[in-house]
Amino acid sequence: DVVFSVPSSSTPPVTVTSTTPAGGATGVATSTAISAQLSAAVSGGTPTLAVSIASGAVAGTSSYNATTGVVSFVPSAALTASTSYTATVSVAGTTLSGGNWSFTTAAPPVTVTSTTPTAGATGVDPTLAITAQLSAAPSATPTLSVTSSAGMVAGTSAYNTTTRVLSFTPTQPLLWSTSFTATVSLAGATPSGGSWSFTTATEPPTVNALTIFPANSVPDNAGWNDPGAVQVGVRFTSSVAGSVTGIRFYKGTQNTGTHTGYLWSSTGTQLATVTFGAETASGWQSATFSQPVVIQPGVEYRASYYSSVGWYAVSLNGLASAVTNGPLSTPAQGGAYIYGTAFPANLASHNYWVDVFFVPAG
């Protein structure tokens, strides 16, 4: 036999035996702890763990637990999704064996960032588009469905890969005065924000009502920029007795904000008011008064709305001469306006595309 002595200089070198995340890992959560397990106690310096991406070092703090032999790195902020990272353990500037590895973080989770109608919306137009905006491109094709207490609503789901907008088009307009729930499905699950409810409006008595202007008429200029909030309107009379049940106005895309409709007598008495809700981005917007207002034949009235942002539709000199549609007509200089919410006493020859819903008596 022999006697063999191991010189102290041949002590096995310290290596990295395991890492978190593992080398080559993908789909790593952005909140995952980054650490390395060392094979033995370290002498000659304190081990450090650094993390970098292609553009440079990641800000953070390295620490070493001499008892457990674990060196860890805590980034100053959460890691970035869909990014490749490289981690390096070193002592006195030398990288330990097994102490250099890479991993890739997961793609950001897909969420629903906005919906139409908004969650909890009431008074929704039954023809309003139902959509959901996704935060990122999904790995599978999403679908959008709509249900009510009566069951699934028949319709078609479509997804636009460019805009990441998911939409649902019902086969028939939605029912009036009904609560609906819209649900986004992605790979068998509902993403955050992907389920919401809304309620359609009460069927207005304006469905078969008469208007001053043809139903599908449009202005010459849908967006006229006034320097301040303004109330614009129309002067009108009826040749027969009846009731004004609501008001409508034509909206351009710049005409955002809150809109309030009014019905006035020609002497400045406010007969009714209503706040418009569930508006579309542009086109005719309608609102129904809480109670129909009876008007007398041959008497002038004024219908108007207040634009809080100062934009409105207009056809210049569109009401310079009288306009007649059935029993309803406007006089020459049939427009009216005022800067504020008081009676629109100022006359104009312009058509501001404000209209009424009129139901003849009997």
Q: What is the pLDDT of residues 218-237, one digit of tens each?
A: 999 999 988 789 999 999 99
| 3-state secondary structure at position 51 | strand
Report percent pLDDT > 70 for the chain.
Answer: 96
* Span 156-190, pLDDT tens digits: 999 999 999 999 999 887 887 899 999 999 999 99
Q: What are the pLDDT digits (tens) for 194-205?
A: 999 999 987 665
Q: What mean pLDDT comes out for the span 317-323?
A: 96
252 touches 282 (CB < 8 A):
yes
- Sequence-distant (6+) residues with CB within 8 A of 136 are 107, 108, 109, 110, 164
pLDDT at 199: 95
In whole angstroms, give the CA distance from residue 49 to residue 72.
Answer: 6
Residue appearing with tokens 């490749």:
84
* Average pLDDT of span 285-313: 92
Please give the pLDDT value at position 186: 94
**In this structure, how many other beta carbons lie within 10 angstroms of the beta carbon of residue 336?**
25
pLDDT at 7 over 60: no
Q: How far apart are CA 38 and CA 100, in angstroms?
A: 13
DSSP 8-class letter at 9: G
pLDDT surpasses 70 at 309: yes
Which residue, among 286, 141, 307, 164, has the nearest Cα to 224 in the 3D structure? 307
For residues 244 and 279, what is the distance between their CA atoms, to the nearest angstrom?
21
Is residue 169 a contact partner of residue 182, using CB atoms and an 8 Å limit?
no
| Backbone φ, ψ for residue 251 (5° rounding) | -115, 130
Q: How confident is the model at residue 12 (pLDDT cuts 50, 70, 90)?
A: confident
Radius of gyration, CA atoms only, the chain? 34
- Give the pLDDT of residue 296: 94
CB 166 within 8 A of CB 137: no
Above 60 in pLDDT, residue 9?
A: no
d(CA 340, CA 329): 26
- pTM over the 0.75 mark: no
How far apart CA 51 and CA 30 sit, in angstroms, is: 13
Q: Is residue 278 over pLDDT 80?
A: no
Name the token pair of 49: 């763990």
Residue 56 has pLDDT above 70, yes or no: yes
Supply the pLDDT for residue 228.
86
What are the tens digits of pLDDT across the range 119-136?
999 988 887 889 999 999
Comparing 208 with 96, the larger pLDDT belongs to 96
How confident is the model at residue 107, as a pLDDT? 85
Burial of residue 208, with CB atoms counted within 10 A of its CB: 0-12 exposed, 13-18 middle, 19 or more buried: exposed
pLDDT over 90 for what percent of the chain? Answer: 76
pLDDT at 10: 57
How confident is the model over 91-115, as pLDDT tens digits? 999 999 999 999 999 888 899 999 9
